[in-house]
Amino acid sequence: MPYMDYVSGCPVAERVVEAMLPYFKHPGNPSSIHSVGLEARNAMEEARGKVASLIKADSSEIVFTSGATEANNLAIIGYAMRNKSKGKHIIVSAIEHISIINCAKFLQKNGFEVDYAPVDRYGKVKLDELENLVREDTILVSIQHANPEIGTIQDIEKVRDAIKDVTLHVDATASLGKIEVNVERLGVDMLTLSSNDIYGPRGVGALYIRKGVRVNPIILGGGQEKGLRGGTENVAAIVGFGRAAEITMEEWKSEAERLKKMRDRLIEGLLKIEDTFLNGHPTDRLPNNASVRFSYIEGESIILSLDMEGIQASTGSACTSKTLQPSHVLMAIGLKHEEAHGSVVFSLGRWNKEEDVDYVLEKLPPIIERLRMMSPLYLKKKKGGG
């Protein structure tokens, strides 16, 4: 039963659960000064160190949050609020995670100006246009490392060159554990990390904030996380995140190799189905991402049909979104509505095996065929009218 929807959610590794277990019952509050509090604090700081070394940062530069969404909010809103005296212009790419897009819209309603950096049809940020968008009063640029929906990886070093010394935030939710994420080499000022995407628990993430970069908290409380994130820390989850980071550091390279082989075979097989196209960049893409679109049919019916065969994947079709709008990522790479309709993302992960790829490639073609036989668009094309 191949689960190929790691982009939506990952299982928590058994090794991670084991590390967390003692801290579910542990009463210690890291802020307490007594020995029990200290135990919790030590566990938390050890985890911080592990997360930091995964991205080659210093542990003092890691702020734990409730997840990647909160980290993105802290980076965008927290940074803008703190630095508004320097300027009120920010730039985000058109294919950022919805939490970034919505933070940008929030700022727009609150006196900031926002520009959305366009991408080409492969989802690569157009660097020359990005460069032109940078103004005197631009205080922040946010560009994701890789896109979970189409798999495209951005050239962050080139982004850094294009925007000169403007503060750069990078959302590394999708790339962490899949490709190298090294804050020094990337030249970033802030970086968003998610725990669940590296098989850690949900409900925890982190924002890397380079030394010297100033941010306002968005959750006010008792001064936890150096005043950047109020609220008693979720120690068990943080410990799990730390363990997940440790495992990722040891295993990501060989795992990426393994996934890439499966992904290539999957993509090759998918593209053999007639009128099927790859979304995203053909080579600069996440090793676990196979994103395609099938003409003439709609994603929700594909996903539900796959589910009946025990295969889970996801889609950017308008029919499955709460707003009935197609995915903004698919629109930004220039797809038409009906093209976005038939898009399906297969995202692979640690528990997938080679035979899962065979299984999907066996079950999928008849599903596509069956749905196409019901589609008026397919008929039109067959008659040569479309």
Residue 327 CB contacts under 8 Å (≥ 6 apart), including other chains: 149, 316, 317, 321, 340, 343
Q: Taking the complex as a whole, how short is the minimal distance between the CB of residue 297 and other proteins, in angstroms?
A: 7
Instruction: Output the six-digit token pair for 32.
Output: 């307490």
Nearest to 184 by CA among 76, 46, 54, 65: 54
Instruction: Output the six-digit token pair for 309.
Output: 């065969």
Nearest to 215 by CA among 319, 139, 135, 307: 139
Q: Taking the complex as a whole, how short is the minimal distance between the CB of residue 228 and other proteins, in angstroms?
A: 36
Q: For the purposes of burial, counting CB atoms within 10 Å of the CB of 284, is it exposed (0-12), middle (13-18) or buried (19 or more)? A: middle
Q: Taking the complex as a whole, how short is the minimal distance between the CB of residue 303 and other proteins, in angstroms?
A: 9
Q: Taking the complex as a whole, how short is the minimal distance between the CB of residue 319 and other proteins, in angstroms?
A: 4
| 10 in catalytic set | no
- CA distance readout (Å), 177 to 17, 90, 104, 197, 252: 18, 28, 27, 8, 5
Residues in the chain: 386
Residue 13 CB contacts under 8 Å (≥ 6 apart), including other chains: 199, 200, 244, 247, 350
When asked if residue 297 is in the footprint of other proteins (CB under 8 A), the reply is: yes
Q: Taking the complex as a whole, how short is the minimal distance between the CB of residue 321 and other proteins, in angstroms?
A: 9
**Backbone torsion region of residue 16, taken as left when φ is above 0, otherwise alpha when ψ lies between -120 and 50, otherwise beta:** alpha
Judged by beta carbon, residue 271 or residue 304, the one nearer other proteins is: 304
Judged by beta carbon, residue 105 or residue 336, the one nearer other proteins is: 336
One of 283, 324, 384, 385 touching other proteins (CB under 8 A): 324
Active-site residue identified among 319, 353, 355, 373: 319
290 and 270 Cβ atoms separated by less than 8 Å = yes
When asked if residue 98 is in the footprint of other proteins (CB under 8 A), the reply is: no
When asked if residue 109 is in the footprint of other proteins (CB under 8 A), the reply is: no
When asked if residue 131 is in the footprint of other proteins (CB under 8 A), the reply is: no
Judged by beta carbon, residue 124 or residue 341, the one nearer other proteins is: 341
When asked if residue 309 is in the footprint of other proteins (CB under 8 A), the reply is: no
**How many other CB atoms are found less than 10 A from the CB of residue 300?**
15
When asked if residue 271 is in the footprint of other proteins (CB under 8 A), the reply is: no
- CA distance readout (Å), 232 to 41, 223, 245: 11, 9, 22
Rounded Cα distance between 175 and 329, Å, is 17
Q: Taking the complex as a whole, how short is the minimal distance between the CB of residue 344 and other proteins, in angstroms?
A: 14
- Classify 35 as helix, strand or coil: helix
330 and 315 Cβ atoms separated by less than 8 Å = no
When asked if residue 385 is in the footprint of other proteins (CB under 8 A), the reply is: no
| Options 49-57, 95-103, 203-211, 337-345: segment touching other proteins (CB under 8 A) | 337-345
When asked if residue 17 is in the footprint of other proteins (CB under 8 A), the reply is: no
When asked if residue 276 is in the footprint of other proteins (CB under 8 A), the reply is: no
| Options 21-29, 198-206, 221-229, 335-343: segment touching other proteins (CB under 8 A) | 335-343
Size of the site for other proteins (CB under 8 A): 27
Q: Taking the complex as a whole, how short is the minimal distance between the CB of residue 340 and other proteins, in angstroms?
A: 8
Rounded Cα distance between 257 and 280, Å, is 20
Rounded Cα distance between 223 and 231, Å, is 8
Instruction: Output the six-digit token pair for 373.
Output: 């036989």
| Options 100-108, 243-251, 277-285, 300-308: segment touching other proteins (CB under 8 A) | 300-308
When asked if residue 338 is in the footprint of other proteins (CB under 8 A), the reply is: yes
When asked if residue 382 is in the footprint of other proteins (CB under 8 A), the reply is: no
Instruction: Output the six-digit token pair for 193.
Output: 């990390």
Tokens 């594909």: give the residue.
302
| Options 44-52, 91-99, 311-319, 358-366: segment touching other proteins (CB under 8 A) | 311-319
Rounded Cα distance between 124 and 189, Å, is 21
One of 301, 327, 343, 347 touching other proteins (CB under 8 A): 301
341-380 footprint of other proteins as x/- string (CB under 8 A): x-------------------------------xxxxx-x-
End-to-end CA distance of the chain: 37
| Options 1-9, 198-206, 250-258, 330-338: segment touching other proteins (CB under 8 A) | 330-338
Binding site for other proteins (CB under 8 A): 296-298, 300-301, 304, 308, 317-320, 322-326, 336-338, 340-341, 373-377, 379
Catalytic site residues? Answer: 319
